[in-house]
Amino acid sequence: MPELPEVEVICRGLLPHIFARTILSIHCSGKKLRTPVACQEMKDELCGAKIVSLTRRAKYLVLKVDKGSGLIIHLGMTGNLGIFAAGSPQKIHDHVCWLLDNNTELRYNDTRRFGSIQLLSFKNGSREEEQFFSATGPEPLSRACSIAYLRQRARQRRQPIKSFLMDSHMVAGIGNIYANEALYRAHIHPQQAAASLSTRDWKRLLSVLRKTLRQAIDCGGSTISDFVNASGEGGYFQMNFLIYGKKGEPCSSCHTPIEKIQVGGRATFFCPCCQPKVSGDESAEIPRTR
């Protein structure tokens, strides 16, 4: 599944091609994504409107038009957005196509159809967007995601720090790959209880997390599974992975074999030497409540 850097790369890649362009028509395959696509309503709201912004929030893309309506798009596991010449052959899994006034099409392709496209109405779009993201935590690259914020949210939480980082209610957009990488670079065991981290731990972790995310964005994201950017090119941050997917390989720092466990049902890689488990620290998964 595309994580924050991959979605940010797609956002930056698409924006110059679609900004200030008018949507002339919309075509849908008729196939259901994770949720049904409101194709007719989307035509009513967006056709004839000019695109005024494309931003990223967590792992979502938010497209706005001058009418006040818009879209919240999630790429799921295999979704991608790209720009193509109007009338060029479509692929079998192109599910939504927006024809623009410069004779190009913005196309949403999703082989497994786990993504989603939610319409924001021109009457209540701002309220609908606010409600949609109401439970989402701050962006990890933002000032709102401070050491004080993280310590306060982690207080008395016995869940593993890796699960805490991947909880979108706590921090937005950090997926499995970058949680693994950040914890390794910060020398923190993925099963350490979030509440047990000191201010010094949080300072180090937040610093390396931001550095890792920025590096991944600069590299164009990671080529994992079906990710491609808006130009159809894969990213290459995977060449800089220090821990993810390297079970049994020697740690680049101490040469100890990297181990793999499951944390929160997700593949978790760590170095038992560089990321020692804190003595007496017991973490436990805490069921999420809404």
Query: Is 59 among the residues known to form the active site?
Result: yes
Selecting among 2, 5, 140, 190, the annotated active-site residue is 2
Q: Is 57 a catalytic residue?
A: no
Verify whether residue 2 is a known catalytic residue. Answer: yes
**C-alpha angle 227-222-88 in degrees, rounded to nearest 5:** 30
Out of 247, 266, 272, 277, the active site residue is 266
Q: How many CA atoms lie within 13 A of 143 on its CB side?
A: 0
Q: What is the CA radius of gyration of the chain?
A: 20
Four-residue CA torsion sign, 21, 25, 28, 29: negative
> How far out from the chain centre does Cα 142 lie?
15
Of residues 247, 244, 267, 268, the one with CA closest to residue 256 = 247
Instruction: From the candidates 59, 162, 185, 246, give the one annotated as an active-site residue.
Output: 59
Q: Is 163 exposed, middle or buried (0-12, 13-18, 19+ CB in 10 A)?
A: buried
Residues taking part in catalysis: 2-3, 59, 266
